[in-house]
Structure 1
């Protein structure tokens, strides 16, 4: 199939086109695609990323690839030890899908708490309590799946910080 048709097929029947995030996963794909055959993987170019998100640290490009030409989709060829090359997306190639046993959605939300409280919002017990309350609110709004929440720490190690008062505008 073309890259887009392969991606649609994988998303309809599995999760997405294969995403080799490390050498071990790359080798698992290598074991399925016959030697000497290029097969589609989830890689595409806007700024070379996986169709399901950003580029991982692991990369396995053939020397000189991607070459900035017309190829905007990634394929892997296993007579070159599983190295990747860019190809035109409309060429028909075999492909490998991957399946996440439990589909998930990742969403980043910025929280602003308003009020005059002496409560230390960076206290681990307070953070845990806030997480439980947020999970409950999400469930009350109709999300019936497993919910995992985590806090993003700032550079200084804190999660919450107090906003500085804006000067009165004249």
Structure 2
């Protein structure tokens, strides 16, 4: 496993520095990447051993930069498909929110949620698949059943299909 060192996010307009963003956590966890979520919106991720989102950076219509907290729910597929935001939370704790938002687990063994694949790396990374009308969710967890609340959500990827 690798741990990340110090890093910042620099925003440039042409060759002029417009803004500099860094994580102000007690433990100096670095911001490692900015991922485009939609037009004029970047999600900022921090990491120690696991990447996780910490804030959204919005490019407002008047070219103002706005740093905002993560939403409770992300919307995908032209806003038609809701997905509760649950990074770092236990999968068990988030299942009811996923079900309430219309997501259903694709695989189950004896009535229990089952991963479709696991890494075997010792870190306990596993992938679970969920379906929603018009979309599928690939949800990655880390840790395992030995953790007090089971594996935690590390990442997700939504793929939209024609409605």
Alignment TM class, shorter chain as reference: under 0.3
Greater relative contact order (Cα < 8 A, sep 6+): 1
- The alignment's TM-score, normalised by the length of structure 1, stands at 0.23
Q: Which has the larger radius of gyration?
A: 1
TM-score, normalisation: structure 2: 0.24
Going by fraction, where is helix more abundant, 1 or 2? 1
